[in-house]
Every structure is written in structure tokens, then in C-alpha cells.
A = this chain, B = another copy of it.
């Protein structure tokens, strides 16, 4: 992390910057740091994007802290970057214009849980695995599971999804409301706990996916689900990728109730075997899961098994054993790290297109062919039930030529997805990395509308500047 990047635009090179930082240090005694390790930790996420340090890190302990901090920052025109644990993948938390990195990790409590209403309210800094632990004793779970152990606030701000989205939905469907601090320090609730509402503009979805550019999410109310009576996992191998994806498309189109359906291509399976000491057959693999009553799970798994066999799937294995399932899914969740570990000292460049499911087999096979001719090491893993897949490209960001090659590959991939009616990002967000693609995806008038909204909510442009709607 020797290289850094800092955009000292005129707008944010406030003469009061140091005065503001001092006031914040004074105001939040015991809750700030300017230590170089801490600043470095808050300068980047898990991606290849160049780090960029904040001037100071503030550890918020309450919504009041956040409100006070934002009021001070507004007074001194200091940028504010909300920070969860830094597991995003498009440079979302990099402090491009310096300012305050507002670390939410101390706001990590489960505030309220209702088994009757199947919902809970958490502070934004709670980690998803910590939440899972607290919910399990109530017989409940929250399904969204990005690979990393992210904070719920970060997952909300990014519009995350995961392996179970095919059945339960993404953050977009599962966040009922939020508490948000606006740039001027005002605190609002975006909605109520009712399961549905038509009360005015949808502020919940305005902040969901806004990546800290409109305000700071401090609390989130989530929909929960009862842990299903029965869960079964299945794996199946395919010689060719196109058949594997076609099988999934058929499963989705026929309405078979899968709870998870993940693809790992041959290269990804090999990486996982090496890293996680598993002995998975080294072919393209689908990993499926079924949730429900015992009868329903058996019925759905049988249906799926028949469809998979019809499409050339072999070695269908099926397990309701908890320990076996845990190992299997841990391997899946570790896939990105497994792939990165194949090349010492490298970073990952993760693509994230999502296309209408009818185009998925074509999109994946064309992309696989492109990988082969591009001299890229990039295994494919995907939430194929949603039409979403990732190429986990392993790169050395210092190598200009290699980065150029990978960026060209990504541009071809996104162009392919956009032409198929898809999106440049299914779940990672825009951050700093996809700003030009957002423009291509929705066009200048839609982006101008986003900028008008940004201007209305954050007129000084202090909230996570340089992201989503920034002019670059």
C-alpha cells in the first residue's frame, strides 16, 4: 500500500480543513484516530483501487455522534466517508478528497428483534455473521450473504445481495426502513415497520444503494425468516459451462423453489480445492440448496435433479447433513480468497455483470472464451439463478500493462452485458470504479437526474465525494 491517490479538488480544499479536524478531535475525545496505520486501514476497500487516506477517523458510538460529526463537517466543508469494515469492491470507502472516515464498527448492537413480526432493528455497524449468531437462538435468520463478513450498514448502502437472493431477495427487498443522518445533521426515519406502505416517496430505496453519498445510515430494520424445517444441499458437475447454465435457467423458468444455485467453473473449483483442502471433482460445478418442510425439500430437490440430469449434469449428490453443508458453503464463500491465493501478493479485480436469465448462458460462455484469449487468470463464480456472475481476475495493480488488459476485458464484458439488457453491477455498486459504465448503462439524462437529487440532498457535496455521480 505504498502508492496512494488524493484528489485535492478546489471544492474540497477548504482553508478550514485543519481547523475542522481539530474541532472533531476535541469534540470526540477517545473516539478518533490520526495514527498512520489507522488512516491506511481506512484508505481502501478489498479491491485493486488505489488507496486514498482520510485526514482523521471518527469511531461513532451513537446516531447522535454521527449527527454531531456531520454538523461539524458541514460547518468546515469537510468530506465524510462512512466506513463499515471496508469489504466493498469498487473503491467505495477510499477517501478520495480526504476528510473524515466515519467508522461505524462500534455501533454493532442488535437493538430489537421480533420473532412475531419476523423483523429486527440493528445498528449499522453490526457484522452479518455476528447478527446470524444472535438470530439463531430465536430460530431466525437473515439471508443476504455477500462473500465477506460485511456490516449490515455497508450491505444496505451498497445494495448487496448474495447466494440466497434467488429465493429471499436482495437488500433492496429485505430492508424495511432505516435511520439516516442527513448531511446537515438532521436525523430521519425512512419508513415504518409495516410490511408494505405507499406513504410518499420511497426514502428507504433512495438511501439503499446510495453508497454514503446522500447521508449516513445508522440503523437498519430488516426482514427475517424462520430457519427452515429442512435444508438440503446438492452438487452436480458439468463438462461444459453452457449446459450448466442452461440447466439453471430451466430450473428457474419451471419455478422450482431453489434457495441457492451457485456456479463455480473448473478453474474456481481447482482454486477452492487447493485453498480449502476440499476434494471436489475438478469440473464446472453447480451448488444448490433447498429450504422448506421435509416434504417440500425432497420434492423440489427431486425435480431439480431430473432437470440437471436432462441437461447433462453428472454425479448429483444430495445431503441434509449440517456439517457437510457448512463445509461446502464455506468453500463457496472462500472462493474469492482461494482464487486470490493462487498468485502471491496479488489483488482481485472482480467483475459483476447481471443479465436477463435468458441471455446468461451466452454471456457466460462468450466471457469464458474471452478469458481464454485474453491471457487472464479469472475463474468464474456466479449467483446464476439471478443472472449475476463474477470473473475473479487476479491482478497486480502495479503492472500497468496487465491492468490495461484486465480493464479492456472488463469493458468488453460490460458492453456484452449491456447489449443483452443487463447491468454493469448486479451487487457491488458503482463506487469509483464504475462511474463511466453507469453513464453508459442509463444514459446522461438519468445520471443528470441522479446528480440533481445528490445536489438537493447534499448541496455542498460533502458525502463520500467522488463516487456514483461524480463527474470524472
Contact = CB atoms under 8 A, between A and B. Distances in A.
Contact of A456 (B193, B203, B417, B453): B453
A247 interface: no
Contacts of A447: 200
Given A114-B356, A196-B426, A453 B457 contact: yes
A307 interface: no
Interface in A125-180: 158-161, 165, 169-170, 172-173
A358 B117 contact: yes
B209 A423 contact: no
Nearest to A468: B200
Contacts of A158: 198
How many copies of the polypeptide does the oligomer hold? 2
Contacts of A197: 159, 354, 423, 425-426
A198 to B, nearest CB: 4
Contacts of A453: 201, 206, 453, 456-457
A26 interface: no
11 contacts: A114-B356, A114-B358, A119-B356, A187-B445, A192-B422, A196-B427, A201-B209, A203-B449, A205-B205, A452-B456, A453-B457
A226 B158 CA distance: 31
Interface stretch (A57-65, A292-300, A319-327): A292-300
A139 to B, nearest CB: 10
- Please classify how large the interface on chain A is, using the bins under 10, 10 to 19, 20 to 34, 35 or more: 35 or more
Contact of A226 (B253, B358, B387): B253
A268 interface: no
Interface stretch (A231-239, A277-285, A393-401, A436-444): A436-444
A1 interface: no
A303 B293 CA distance: 11
A190 interface: yes
A423 B198 CA distance: 8
